[in-house]
Amino acid sequence: MLRAAIRSLLARKVRLVLTGLSVVLGVSFMAGTYVLTDTMTAAFNELVDTGYSSIDVLVRSSNAFTAQTSSLEEREPMPGSVLDVVAGVPGVAEAVGDVVGYAQIVDPATGKVIGTFGPPTAASGWNELNGFTLKPGGSPPQGSDQVVIDAATAESHDIQVGERVQILFEGPPGEFEVVGLAGYGEEDSLFGATWALFDLPTAQGVLGKQDQLDSVSVVAAEGVTGVDLQREISAVLPEGAEAVTAATVTSEAQDQISTGLGFLRTAFLVFAFVALFVGAFIIFNTFAIIVAQRTRELALFRALGASGRQVLTSVIVEAFVIGVVSSILGVVGGIGIAILLKGALNATGFEIPASGTVILPRTFVVSIVVGTLVTVVAAVVPARRAARVAPIEALREAQDRPGRSLRFRLVSGAVVLALGLVPLAYGLFGAPANALQLVGLGVAFTFIGVAMLTPMIARPVAAALGSPIRRTGVPGKLGRENAMRNPRRTAATASALMIGLGLVVFVAVFGASAKASTTAILERTLKADFILTSPTFSGFSTSAAEDMRRVPGVETVSQIRQAESHIDDGTAFVTGLDPATFEAVSEVGIVEGSLTELTRPDTIAIFEEAATDNGWGIGDTIAVEWPATGEGELEVVAIYSENGLIGDWAVSLETFDANVAQRLDVFVLIKAQADADVAAVQSDLEEALAAYPNIEVQDQAAFRDKYATFLNQVLNLVTALLIFAVIIALFGVMNTLYLSIYERTRELGLLRAVGLTRRQTRSMVRWEAVIISVMGALFGVVVGIAFGWALQQALASEGFSELGIPGGQLAIYVVFAALLGVFFAVFPARRAARLNVLEAISYE
Amino acid sequence: MSAVHEAVPPAAAARAVGLTKIYGEGDAAVRALDDVSVEFEGARFTAIMGPSGSGKSTLLHCMAGLDAPSNGSIFIGDIDLTTLSEKNLTLLRREKVGFVFQAFNLIPTLTAAENITLPLDIAGDKPDKGWFDLVVDTVGLRDRLSHRPAELSGGQQQRVASARALVSRPEIVFADEPTGNLDSKSGHELLGFLRSAVKDHDQTIVMVTHDAAAASFADRIVFLADGRVVDEMLEPTTERVLDRLKSLEA
């Protein structure tokens, strides 16, 4: 039996390759993700080692809070006097203070800011201990007019030593002469961040940290260990400061990196699993078709004395071999993908150090085990079907065997669908801790359930889709009949496409809903005439708002800041706003209390639903953990119903600034005087913003467009990654067509004999592909809209008030699926057209 | 019926000239047909007989444009098949030739009626309603037209195939062991129908068979052995055919 299984594998090479391909692609994605993230982790760890290699102890503020959404730690600076305290400790050979903060370099050639998306943009003091090294031909920065910038930024924007550059800060921007370029260890940059380095007094000045320090780097004297020195220093530090060894800082930083890359890995792995999931459908379908085609052969084995178990084993062995071989090829392909992805990330600005590719044994083991497992599991149902073939069937004419009853399929499909919908609904609406996993599981089972039910409607759907095609002539008519003749096969092939396209459609619906909801919210609440934002909604200097107040015709300027903090042990984005002016520029829908109460210290306004969910009312105090200052308590003084712009938690700017280290405005809302010429005010605002190339001033309509465009960019990336799954599904269409053509050899011979031309034969196969593809696309559209609707319902209270269905975009997807179906049918169609008529007729 | 009775073609409906077909190469080469020249008259029912391996099926396949000869010429009417491109050969099969095979004559997804009109549909032609009805009634399929092949008996399937071969009024119909899979009653019905198509409607039919009783329905029998035409018989009867076959095999 084993030999028979292997023989059968080798006998059909095209089938083998196409079946294996679906596994190869999915495994490649997975292995590629591992290789890429492992490579990045190794490279970054090395970089961190370099950075702390020359120090023994680091002194820093002890209030820390690691934000989930930002790689930069937020710590309140220490008083500058801490340096003298540290320097005075016996055993300290050298102690150097440093500050770090937000800074953005402006490209002198284009006048645009550098680094608006992705890696951090920062400034710090220049010293010998922080890891930066001066490139030849430059000198260290001295005085308030000089800066050293990282070599990678200088290179990519063609900035020369001696040139003058403008740099933006939290406070007013400044202009400096570039006196040198710096590398970080062996590299030209630190993770692709843009970095501006000043002498310490200048850095303290531009970063708004006069007489303050963020850290003190300490080198121990000869013979003193870091651990000992850390203990010595800790003993004399004032409250609010702490000393840690270089080893501790290094491992903290490396932990942070692996957490950050962990997110990236998980994100990519999700797409890899989607691809494998689609691949599993194709494996299942291929084996189901093969088993049906080999019924007589299998029955002959049974008649010759093979047990059902042996037949089952032979099919499983076939799947196992395909799985192992494809997975190994997948790992090889994955290494290629990793190199491609690395290039893609580099192109978006993340500088990945050019060290060797890291391939861990884990990558091989996990990829091959998962790939093989998916293949074997997908083949189990067809294998069981094979084992049930009765010996007598060897004697019957080959024809489609009746499957299990429709009732059985209906019931089992509905059960699986329920198994998907329940965790999906609970994950979305029940808000459990592991919501993401539940939703993922729910989505997977929902897809399987729908796929189990689709054979019941595949026939009428194919008939309906094919009815306009039928009129195009005999090839169209035959193509339609072929798509209808085996609903299970058509449905399974279409289902693979449904999954990929369903997710793409879901993303599109999500995007359209977000856009529609945002527009609705902004139209309802925004009263400002102009909005200042940076292109990527990152923060910008607070001095911009000050400058705006001086523009003639401006009545109100209201600043909004945002920071991550913890409220009631959960991550929360807290908004800082100006209670005196905010209601003039935006509707908040006060339910209870008043915003003006926020002027009192340690008070907070909360969103209606957050209040109800937690049972909080006016006068209650809630626990908060701030990024810079740590734990505190806030009194609820207002409850509001409009959270579109300010989220669920809002405090006054004073409270915000007292507790958050980085003070950048995210939005500045401006209202013009009632009698002012709005267009003139806008041009005056623009003029006043000339010094801030990273800020845009927009009216409401432009602002809404920008928001939508930003969202689309993110969603397009997700869609691009999902296209992988769609491509795999299309290979599935190709595989099914090949298998069907093989099965219909005699029929094709007959058609050719009675006068069907090769062109007509190709056309017939293509029409079948179109029907299958469009069916899959339509199923995908239906399921995708359903998922989008479910998510919108779940997020309705978060401001997702509208369901948007981008009809035009979805129509394009369907048309595109049809065209791709035609494209992937080219080879099977050619195969069908080239059949030798005589051989085909006498084919047994 | 006038159209059918007046135009009896004077020349052969199809002929082979010096037809040779060799399979394989070198030592393994097999001469399936060896310089065969034969004519098939119009409006006649010709049977080709011969022992297994005599080349009778190869001759039929070459005559029908399904197989390309190694040497020689084949004419359907006055068109030389060996000069035609693949596409024109397909068009010729569609327009001038009808087929009945031993088995698997029908497309399983199409109804009996759709199978009958398939060659016309492929060509984009409309069937002649009167002729279609006549053919369908002659083969007795009126009440089976909307059935799919799987719902028909073997005899019914072959009658559908015959109806398909005739409905486009081809110049010549080739039948390859059409009764091979049928019981003798169904076989006789089918042969009677083919015979009446020749007698009543001047259809030209060439049939390969190894069954003497089937061959006795023909006007003329061409005997093949070892790739050559070895004999002919007109107005055959089952007994005479059996005698002749015995002498051929001796």
Dist CA A80 CA A204 (whole Å): 10
Dihedral (Cα; A375, A377, A382, A383), 10-degree rounding: 100
Asked if A452 reaches chain B (Cβ–Cβ under 8 Å), the answer is no
Amino acid in the structure at residue A111 = G
| pLDDT for residue B7 is more than 60 | no
Higher pLDDT, A436 or A83: A83
Contact B169, B120 (CB under 8 A): no
Q: In a 10 Å sphere around its CB, with 0-12 CB exposed, 13-18 middle and 19+ buried, how is residue A158 labelled?
A: exposed
| pLDDT for residue A720 is more than 90 | no
Residue B11 lies in a domain: no
Residue B22 lies in a domain: no
Which residue, B106, B102, B82, is CA-closest to B92?
B82
The two structure tokens encoding residue A775:
């069916």
Domain around B94: 41-66+84-249
pLDDT of residue B161: 92
Dist CA B66 CA B131 (whole Å): 27
Q: Sign of torsion, CA A57 A59 A63 A65?
A: negative
pLDDT of residue A763: 94
pLDDT tens-place string over residues A146-171: 999 999 888 888 999 999 999 988 88
Three-state DSSP class for B42?
Answer: coil
The two structure tokens encoding residue A400:
């489609």
pLDDT tens-place string over residues A220-247: 998 888 889 999 999 998 888 889 999 9
Three-state DSSP class for B46?
Answer: strand
Asked if B128 reaches chain A (Cβ–Cβ under 8 Å), the answer is no
Three-state DSSP class for B145?
Answer: coil
Q: In a 10 Å sphere around its CB, with 0-12 CB exposed, 13-18 middle and 19+ buried, how is residue A569 labelled?
A: exposed
As separate numbers, helices (DSSP H) first and strands (DSSP E) second, chain B gives 10, 10
Whose structure tokens read 């943009």? A121
Dihedral (Cα; A793, A799, A801, A803), 10-degree rounding: -70
Which residue, A320, A309, A310, A314, is CA-closest to A283?
A320
List phi, psi (to 5°) of A674.
Answer: -55, -35
Q: For residue A481, give the nearest of B104, B109, B121 by CB distance.
A: B109
Dist CA B37 CA A695 (whole Å): 93
Contact A722, A507 (CB under 8 A): yes
Q: For residue A760, give the nearest of B106, B122, B164 by CB distance.
A: B122
For residue A645, give the DSSP letter: T
pLDDT of residue A124: 92
Three-state DSSP class for A392?
Answer: helix
Q: Sign of torsion, CA A586 A591 A597 A602?
A: negative
pLDDT of residue A11: 65
Among B84, B116, B122, the strongest candidate for a mutation testing the A interface, having the largest count of A CBs within 10 A, is B122
Which of A219-228, A386-395, A712-721 shows the lowest mean pLDDT across its residues?
A386-395
The number of distinct structural domains making up chain B is 1
Instruction: Give the list of residues 6+ apart from residue B235 with CB closer than 8 angstroms, or none.
Output: B219
Instruction: List alpha helices for A294-349, DSSP H.
Output: 295-303, 308-347
pLDDT tens-place string over residues B66-101: 888 999 999 998 899 999 998 898 889 888 999 898
pLDDT of residue B207: 95
For residue A844, what pLDDT band results from cuts at 50, 70 and 90? Answer: low
- Tell me which chain A residue has its CA closest to the CA of residue B121: A474
| A residues 463-492 lying closer than 8 A (beta carbon) to B | 473-474, 477-478, 481-482, 484-485
Whose structure tokens read 């089937």? B214
Q: Would the CB atoms of A750 and B150 count as touching at under 8 Å?
A: no
Which residue, A210, A76, A271, is CA-closest to A727?
A271
pLDDT of residue A46: 84
Q: Would the CB atoms of B104 and A756 count as touching at under 8 Å?
A: no
- Chain A residues whose CB is inside 8 A of the B122 CB are 474, 751, 754-756, 760
Residue B133 lies in a domain: yes
The two structure tokens encoding residue A492:
């399974």
Residue B243 lies in a domain: yes
Q: Would the CB atoms of A838 and B61 count as touching at under 8 Å?
A: yes
User: Region A414-418: what's the mean pLDDT?
Assistant: 93
For residue A675, give the DSSP letter: T
For residue A131, what pLDDT band results from cuts at 50, 70 and 90? Answer: confident
Contact A557, A668 (CB under 8 A): yes
pLDDT tens-place string over residues B23-71: 888 888 888 999 999 999 999 999 999 888 889 989 999 999 888 899 9
Which of A665-679, B100-114, B196-210 shows the lowest mean pLDDT across its residues?
B100-114
Q: Sign of torsion, CA A320 A321 A323 A324?
A: positive
pLDDT of residue B219: 94
User: Region A286-308: what's the mean pLDDT?
Assistant: 83
Dist CA A676 CA A554 (whole Å): 8
Q: For residue A754, give the nearest of B67, B93, B104 by CB distance.
A: B93
Q: Which helix (H) or strand (E) holds B201?
A: helix B184-201
Dist CA B216 CA B174 (whole Å): 17
Asked if B90 reaches chain A (Cβ–Cβ under 8 Å), the answer is yes
Dist CA A738 CA B193 (whole Å): 39
pLDDT of residue B3: 42
Contact A449, A413 (CB under 8 A): yes
pLDDT of residue A156: 85
Higher pLDDT, B93 or A433: B93
Exposure string of B204-224, with b = 16+ CB inside 10 Å and e = fewer, is: bbbbbbbbbbbbbbbbbbbbb
| DSSP assignments along A66-108, one per residue | --SS-SS-EEPPEETTHHHHHHTSTTEEEEEEE-EEEEEEEPT
Given its phi and psi angles, is residue B104 left (phi above 0), alpha (psi -120 to 50 degrees) or beta? left
Dist CA A180 CA A173 (whole Å): 20
For residue A350, what pLDDT band results from cuts at 50, 70 and 90? Answer: low
Dist CA A241 CA A61 (whole Å): 4
Instruction: Give the list of residues 6+ apart from residue A732 with CB closer than 8 angstroms, or none.
Output: A22, A278, A281, A282, A285, A493, A496, A497
* pLDDT, mean over chain B: 88
- Half-sphere exposure of residue A223, counting CA atoms within 13 Å on the CB side? 2
Among A401, A751, A754, A765, the strongest candidate for a mutation testing the B interface, having the largest count of B CBs within 10 A, is A754
User: Region B102-115: what's the mean pLDDT?
Assistant: 87
pLDDT of residue A662: 77
For residue A715, what pLDDT band results from cuts at 50, 70 and 90? Answer: confident
Contact A641, A591 (CB under 8 A): yes
Residue B79 lies in a domain: no
Contact A557, A670 (CB under 8 A): yes
The two structure tokens encoding residue B121:
């549909």
pLDDT tens-place string over residues A79-105: 889 999 999 999 899 999 999 888 889
Q: Would the CB atoms of B66 and A753 count as touching at under 8 Å?
A: yes
- Tell me which chain A residue has its CA closest to the CA of residue B98: A754
| Strands, E assignment, A425-535 | 530-533
pLDDT of residue A74: 61
pLDDT of residue A405: 66
Instruction: Give the list of residues 6+ apart from residue B202 with CB closer than 8 angstroms, or none.
Output: B4, B5, B7, B8, B42, B43
Which CATH number covers residue B187?
A: 3.40.50.300
Contact A566, A625 (CB under 8 A): yes
Residue B136 lies in a domain: yes
pLDDT of residue A396: 62
Angle between helices A758-794 and A474-485 (to 10 degrees): 50
pTM summary value: 0.81
pLDDT tens-place string over residues A173-215: 899 999 999 988 777 777 778 899 999 999 999 988 889 998 9
Which residue, A705, A747, A738, is CA-closest to A829?
A738
| pLDDT for residue A448 is more than 80 | yes
Which of A63-67, A545-549, A594-598 shows the lowest mean pLDDT across its residues?
A63-67
User: Region A415-423: what's the mean pLDDT?
Assistant: 92
* pLDDT, mean over chain A: 87
Which of A297-306, A510-519, A735-744 shows the lowest mean pLDDT across its residues?
A297-306
| pLDDT for residue B9 is more than 50 | no
- Shortest Cα–Cα distance, B90 to chain A (Å): 5
Q: Would the CB atoms of B61 and A746 count as touching at under 8 Å?
A: no
Which residue, B105, B110, B81, is CA-closest to B93?
B81
Percent of chain B having pLDDT more than 90?
50
User: Region A6-24: what's the mean pLDDT?
Assistant: 76
Higher pLDDT, A119 or B76: B76
- Shortest Cα–Cα distance, B239 to chain A (Å): 31
| pLDDT for residue A785 is more than 90 | yes
Which residue, A67, A120, A58, is CA-closest to A256?
A67
Which residue, A100, A84, A420, A443, is CA-closest to A236?
A84
pLDDT of residue A198: 95
Asked if B96 reaches chain A (Cβ–Cβ under 8 Å), the answer is no
Exposure string of A64-97, with b = 16+ CB inside 10 Å and e = fewer, is: ebeeeeeeebbbbbbebebbebbeebebbebbbb
Q: For residue A751, give the nearest of B67, B107, B124 by CB distance.
A: B107
Three-state DSSP class for B54?
Answer: coil
- Chain B residues whose CB is inside 8 A of the A756 CB are 90, 94, 122
Three-state DSSP class for A487?
Answer: helix
Whose structure tokens read 């698997």? B104
Percent of chain A having pLDDT more than 70?
94
pLDDT of residue A6: 66
Residue B210 lies in a domain: yes
